[in-house]
Chain A
């Protein structure tokens, strides 16, 4: 591990991958020279993952060759790939949560002694970390690290294992802007120094522009474009990515009426956080009809718990939550009479019954009501199906059938189905959390447009997001949450990324 390998270049020639009759990858040749930072763009299902999985030895390509440093190599398994210095950082963390950072690093090594001499290992790790651009606590369980720290540890792990060509699969999707800048900046520095070659899968154009040298774009398994970042505009990249398919445009923002009524009021709310050791404490928060109030913050600062309290998933110790003046305890009856709708993060887990069908999931709000909104005793499957058919069409949910389990849908389509359910009918209060997490370009644009539309139609929207760009694009007012409390409030007109970032980091 101590001998630092120089960066290697990787090239694929005519790569093709067929699963039965389905062609996931068709004649794709890309070239990533040693020491470069290459971005791989494409929508979900464009074949990016398939391509890198072929490079990493997880899949055996139907046709095509891989060249490492100009020599043709056979990569039959991930082991072969790592022997050549090829490594991958996954979108989802592959660290073991209950092990410490040091344990994670040591156990992932190719050769681990039968009995681990921790004194020696610790000394070696300290020495290794000296040379690393980031500092990390290695004696803490990974489960207790923040997302940004985990992502850094994932990258450090690859470097510790002596990999000099890294595939980063949407590395910043779980990071705050500050963390993303930091991590990518450091990786960029290492490529510039010639220690590392990076192939990054990404959806975020501003990251690509800021950090990458070249891009390759895939669409439906085919190579649709390649070139130098410095010579391409965002518009050209988007055109390569999505072809001629239209992108939903954001509604223009209707001004908030001066006399807009207050819909959501939260007063001195207290609740235990996930660890049970700290409490979250929301002093005062109000959302008016026709405005979007954004809550920014680094993950793990109590946003999730706050949301869980509002959703009724967590009990509160003290405080009031009022919707249109009446107390709100998140019961079904209250949500129905007060028109409260909810789009939680990880919708498959928090808003769906994964094994029930698409139609059933879409009917969760309405299945026990008739057309007039009165409770019924006998449920009509045909009514549920008709309702779902209408919504699927309206919200463009792509599903094989209404009877397939909702867990078989892609992330974007699960989110569309949930949006369809939550945004249909009267909506006075909409509570949204990280609605675009892990979704592709066109799905993101569409979902943001839907939220804006609901706002313009008079809904009060509380939007929690870890994506600051999203908050700046959608919100009328932004709060910053740090250490379980709302520490800063600013109207969008005066919002500055820098000030918000400082409050997020808790520097005030």
Chain B
């Protein structure tokens, strides 16, 4: 048997590769959202931040020739969006979800407006590390060609998981997210903590956007995100606000998303479009399976407006 012909084994392999490739933006957006939600606020605007981050990263990379500067610019833009959301939400009677939706539309719109001239030129890509060098099967090599951002994301998930329980900042974040009253009694200002948490969340979403335009798919188009920012928000709830859970869920999502293309590549010609819907069906099934009419959501931060 020819070594390039690996038959049906190609499907799980392609899914693994796909999981690693597709999951990275999910990882960053969901970790960012996990930080924000742990502070007691929801930022639905991350979809807009993701798109704007993608545009900013691409534009800066085209103009400077450095993908890393593009990445930094995307993070900075995300930070601004996050801080803006956090700042507006500190006012009385402002609803974080409504502001999030407004910022989602605003971010996308702004990105389309500034991004028009950058649809044509091509920008340098973020580097990837070939971890599949030990194998001479090209499919394996392709699947294990891992982008640095994926590795950073994985490390970040572990770090956040550790930091939520072992650092002052982590504990303060959880205090504020669980009880504003307790936080105030401790002399903390919940609004400041939430402002910072939303800002950091936005910055991470911006980085997720940079990955989209600078690595995979690797170009700037208006349909680049196709709702990944929103799915990442759902993913945080599914992961029960646990950073490691976010990472695992992002991989699952990525894998499910790669199912359609993988089947197509091994010659399944009928019905594979159905499998393109896998991530969405997957979300629904998991949400239904993990919910219960008699229990409230375990692990939800007490100050979150959706669980209050």
From A112-120, A163-171, A423-431, the one touching the partner chain is A112-120
Do residues B171 and A95 form an inter-chain contact, with CB atoms below 8 A?
Answer: no
Could you tell me the distance between the alpha carbons of A455 and B120 in the complex, rounded to whole angstroms? 84
Q: How far is the CB of A76 from chain B (nearest CB, A)?
A: 13
Chain B residues closer than 8 Å to A96, beta-carbon distance: 174-175, 178-179, 182
Chain A residues closer than 8 Å to B274, beta-carbon distance: none
Chain B residues closer than 8 Å to A108, beta-carbon distance: 186
How many residues on the A side are at the interface (Cβ–Cβ under 8 A)? 25
Do residues A103 and B167 form an inter-chain contact, with CB atoms below 8 A?
Answer: no
From B62-70, B74-82, B282-290, B295-303, the one touching the partner chain is B295-303
Nearest residue, chain B, Cβ from A110? B187
Do residues A112 and B168 form an inter-chain contact, with CB atoms below 8 A?
Answer: yes
Could you tell me the distance between the alpha carbons of A90 and B302 in the complex, rounded to whole angstroms? 19
Q: Is B1 an interface residue (CB 8 A)?
A: no
Chain B residues closer than 8 Å to A90, beta-carbon distance: 185
Do residues B186 and A115 form an inter-chain contact, with CB atoms below 8 A?
Answer: no
Nearest residue, chain A, Cβ from B296? A274
Do residues B167 and A98 form an inter-chain contact, with CB atoms below 8 A?
Answer: no
Do residues B169 and A114 form an inter-chain contact, with CB atoms below 8 A?
Answer: yes
Q: In chain B between 270 and 308, which residues have their CB closer than 8 angstroms to a CB of chain A? A: 292, 294-295, 299, 301-302
Could you tell me the distance between the alpha carbons of A92 and B180 in the complex, rounded to whole angstroms? 13
Do residues A95 and B182 form an inter-chain contact, with CB atoms below 8 A?
Answer: yes
Chain A residues closer than 8 Å to B165, beta-carbon distance: 103
Q: Is B181 an interface residue (CB 8 A)?
A: yes
Do residues B187 and A79 form an inter-chain contact, with CB atoms below 8 A?
Answer: yes
Q: Is A315 an interface residue (CB 8 A)?
A: yes
Given contacts A107-B171, A112-B171, contact A99 B178 (CB under 8 A): yes
Among A77, A79, A99, A114, contact of B167 (Cβ-Cβ < 8 Å): A114
Do residues B295 and A276 form an inter-chain contact, with CB atoms below 8 A?
Answer: yes
Among A77, A97, A112, A315, contact of B178 (Cβ-Cβ < 8 Å): A97
Nearest residue, chain B, Cβ from A276? B295
Q: Is B172 an interface residue (CB 8 A)?
A: yes
Among B172, B294, B295, B302, contact of A107 (Cβ-Cβ < 8 Å): B172
Q: Is B135 an interface residue (CB 8 A)?
A: no
Q: In chain B between 231 and 289, which residues have their CB closer than 8 angstroms to a CB of chain A? A: none
- SS class, residues of chain B in contact with chain A: helix
Counting chain B CB atoms within 10 Å of each CB, which of A95, A98, A103, A112 scores highest?
A: A98
Do residues B168 and A113 form an inter-chain contact, with CB atoms below 8 A?
Answer: yes
Q: In chain A between 256 and 289, which residues have their CB closer than 8 angstroms to a CB of chain B? A: 272, 276
Counting chain B CB atoms within 10 Å of each CB, which of A92, A96, A114, A315 scores highest?
A: A96
Do residues A94 and B182 form an inter-chain contact, with CB atoms below 8 A?
Answer: yes
Do residues B301 and A98 form an inter-chain contact, with CB atoms below 8 A?
Answer: yes
Q: Is B166 an interface residue (CB 8 A)?
A: yes
Chain B residues closer than 8 Å to A94, beta-carbon distance: 179, 181-182, 185
Q: How far is the CB of B202 from chain A (nearest CB, A)?
A: 23
Chain A residues closer than 8 Å to B299, beta-carbon distance: 98
Could you tell me the distance between the alpha carbons of A92 and B187 in the complex, rounded to whole angstroms? 17
Bitwise, A6-29 to B at CB < 8 A (1) or not (0) is 000000000000000000000000
Could you tell me the distance between the alpha carbons of A218 and B167 in the complex, rounded to whole angstroms? 45
Q: How far is the CB of A141 from chain B (nearest CB, A)?
A: 10
Could you tell me the distance between the alpha carbons of A99 and B38 in the complex, rounded to whole angstroms? 12
Do residues A314 and B294 form an inter-chain contact, with CB atoms below 8 A?
Answer: yes
Q: How far is the CB of B163 from chain A (nearest CB, A)?
A: 9
Chain A residues closer than 8 Å to B181, beta-carbon distance: 92, 94
Among A92, A116, A272, A314, contact of B168 (Cβ-Cβ < 8 Å): A116
Q: Is A33 an interface residue (CB 8 A)?
A: no
Q: How far is the CB of A106 from chain B (nearest CB, A)?
A: 7
Nearest residue, chain B, Cβ from A111? B168
Q: Enumerate 22 A-B pairs (CB-CB under 8 Å) in ascending A order.
A: A78-B185, A90-B185, A92-B181, A94-B181, A95-B182, A96-B182, A97-B179, A98-B174, A98-B302, A99-B175, A99-B178, A103-B165, A107-B168, A107-B171, A108-B186, A112-B171, A114-B167, A114-B169, A115-B167, A116-B167, A116-B168, A276-B295
Binding site for A on B (CB under 8 A): 165-169, 171-172, 174-175, 178-179, 181-182, 185-187, 292, 294-295, 299, 301-302
Binding site for B on A (CB under 8 A): 77-79, 90, 92, 94-99, 103, 106-108, 112-116, 118, 272, 276, 314-315
Known: A103-B171, A107-B168. 17 other contacts (CB 8 A): A78-B185, A79-B187, A94-B179, A94-B185, A96-B174, A97-B302, A98-B174, A98-B301, A99-B178, A107-B186, A112-B168, A114-B168, A116-B167, A116-B171, A276-B292, A314-B294, A315-B294
Which 8 residue pairs of A and B lie closest in terms of their CB atoms, listed nearest first?
A107-B171, A112-B168, A94-B185, A94-B182, A98-B178, A96-B178, A96-B182, A96-B175
